Structure 1
Amino acid sequence: MRTTPPVFSADEIRATLTMSDAIESARTAFRALHAQTVESPPPWHLNVSEHRGELHVKGAAVHGAPHLSVKVATGFPGNACHGVPTSDGLTAVVDSATGRIAALFLDGGYLTELRTGAAGALALDLLAPAEVEELAIVGSGGQARFQIEAALHVRTPERITVYGRNEDRMRAFATWIQERADIPVRRAALDDSPMTATAVVTVTPSTVPVLYSHQIRAGTHVTAIGSDGPGKRELEPSLLRRADLIVVDSLHQSQTLGELQGIDLGGQDVVTLGSLLHRRRTDRDPDLLTIADLSGTGAQDAAIAALAARRLLDN
């Protein structure tokens, strides 16, 4: 007779994984994608237009891993106005050898938030200047906090600037940062004024650009996190065309769900994050403009779920 698989809560999963763990799992995922040692179908998306929400389903099986996974995640930005979390989710962990359900993670979207932050840190570490005087983040939602937490694992900026349109949310976000890091934080209205930061992260659900080419100077690195569905866009196309190097987590996803939707880049250099991990590191040209477009892959979900499963199921 079949027994019910164990169910783990968000609190149990939070106590099991650190951001450092998540960054290492991201390396595992992107190396597997580059080596083509992972099976991962395209993401499935459901737009809930009535309530300005969306639901994503992503899954993957990394070769050699004891567990594969399927993740369901939701994003309802309007929840913030009602004091309700804007994201939720769960992960089904499956035994790779038998197909039996090994565990259910009722993580409330935590694993998605964590692995997304980790991917942002990995892109920042590989592409941003070694010394970042100013880190700018556009957006003040839940994922913005994970991006800051992860970024501080790989860089120590002299100051952080939070850009947004909601003063109360920006103030709360700035306070949250200052409670965790001894770094000056300033708030700035999101408009089309030039930015002085040499590392910029955009974390919004926007369908129109929030960052324009004339705002970004040469030598800057930009990571775009928010575009993960049809019609979304955070970066002005001319900014993408200016880039000396564009890095994506998945080229197909970037072209169908991310910043490269409908963009003809001609012969511009577009590479994957996984390929960068296999290159010999060289000093960064201080005048390069680099962009990372991260739409989120099932391989990342599988890698971090497998790590959590190994720790929780072995106890």
Structure 2
Amino acid sequence: MTFPVLDTAAIKQAATSRLVLDTVRDALIAHAEGRTSVPPPLHMEFPEADGDCHVKAGWITGSTDFTVKIATGFYGNPGLGLPSNHGLVCVVSARTGQVRALLDDRGLLTAWRTAAAGALITDAMARPGAVTLAVFGTGEQARLQTSWLAKLRPVGTVLVHGRNPHRANALCDELDARGLRARPASAQEAAAADMIITTTPATVPVLDAAQVREGAHVTGIGTDMPHKNELPPALFHRAQLIATDDHAQCLDHGDFGHAVRAGAAAQDSDIAAGLLLKAPLDRLDTAITVADLTGVGALDAALASAVLGRLLR
């Protein structure tokens, strides 16, 4: 049996931002409502190369396809002139078990669904009047999270905090070229923004919870393995509302799990992110809100199936 292998050029043509945002939103809602099948992800680490690999699978009840995805992050790659992320998605018929297509996306769909999920939940949980955005990290997700959030709401000044000043300046220049006012910032200044998104592979928290202001929203997207940790437990203790994309995953290997094990948050203190996308959020202007996103296989399945449908139409 032969099946199509579709490259990034074809995928980029089919995967419009509207398609990605709508598909990810619907998939998060379906997952929150229990209409998905998502086994625990497989993780591998490669310490000598500063890399990791995730294998995730997922299916949305009633869908014609399910997917198995390989996504890698090798964080020293930029120094070699290579992108940090890579991967592919295998789309399989949920009716016959036959492989329908291989999406050789080189990690593109993972990056886009991550950006869409982060932007959607940040937009849903942040105050309507919040405009200042801080991003911790200077890589692809820092750029994507900022750009995709700007598709959903006005974004004023963008504060970029990174360990490498050269990369922070380069990201600011790129965001400026996209019409977003960006400048480098210290960790303390970035932590005081209206909206904060952390996009790093950090193993210790990247911000001080005490420096986060009342009324702020924080989304963490980088803690997707047990050894990673971006958000301090004390931030969850201060939060009036905590959202997770998958309760069990976030308990096992998310920042929410670190907070629960530290005694800073109760195990049942979170709400499914998809439910906040389904109904408008009623929040106090002084409330601190936090979202912990570890990446859900059902989102990969929904997006890959939607893209494949357009490509084969």
Where do 5+ consecutive residues of structure 2 fail to align?
A: none
1:154 is paired with a residue whose SS is coil
Residues in 2 aligned to 1:141 and 1:90: alpha-carbon distance in whole angstroms: 20
In 1, Cα distance between the equivalents of 2:191 and 2:256? Answer: 23
| 1:185 to 2:179 alignment | no
- The answer to whether the aligner puts 1:259 opposite 2:258 as a matched pair is no
SS at match of 2:242: strand
Q: What is the CA distance between 1:194 and its match in structure 2? A: 6.9
Give per-residue Cα distances to partners, 1:258-301, cap 9 Å, x unaligned.
Answer: 1023423137731011222343x254311010000000000111
CA distance in 2 between counterparts of 1:70 and 1:37 reads 18
Deviations 1:24-70 (A, max 9, x none): 11112112112211111011001112211101000111112221111
What's 1:303 paired with?
Answer: 302
Alignment CA distance shift 1:39-1:285 (3 Å): same
Tell me whether 145-154 or 267-276 shows the greater mean CA deviation. Answer: 267-276
Q: What residue number does 2:290 align with?
A: 291
The alignment's C-alpha RMSD in Å is: 1.5
Work out the percentage of aligned pairs sharing the same amino acid.
Answer: 38
The number of residues matched between the two structures is 309
* Corresponding residue for residue 275 of structure 2: 275
The 8 Å contact of residues 191 and 207 in structure 2, kept in 1 or not, is answered as no
Give the TM-score normalised by the residue count of structure 2: 0.95
Give unmatched runs, 5+ long, in structure 1.
none
Change (3 A) 1:194 1:300: closer
Q: Deviations over 1:72-99 (max 9, x none)?
A: 0000001111111111000001112111
User: Do 1:162 and 1:187's aligned partners in 2 also have CA atoms closer than 8 Å?
Assistant: yes
Residue deviations 1:193-249, cap 9 Å, x none? 574311000000000000111110110000001000011111111111111011000
Q: What is the identity, as a one-letter code, of the residue corresponding to 2:283?
A: R
Q: Check if 1:224 corresponds to 2:223.
A: no
Q: Distance in 1 between matches of 2:113 and 2:144?
A: 9
The one of 234, 239, 245 aligned to 2:241: 245
* The one of 136, 139, 143 aligned to 2:137: 139
Separation in 2, partners of 1:40, 1:268? 20
Cα distance in 2 for partners of 1:58, 1:283 equals 33
SS in 1 for 2:172: helix
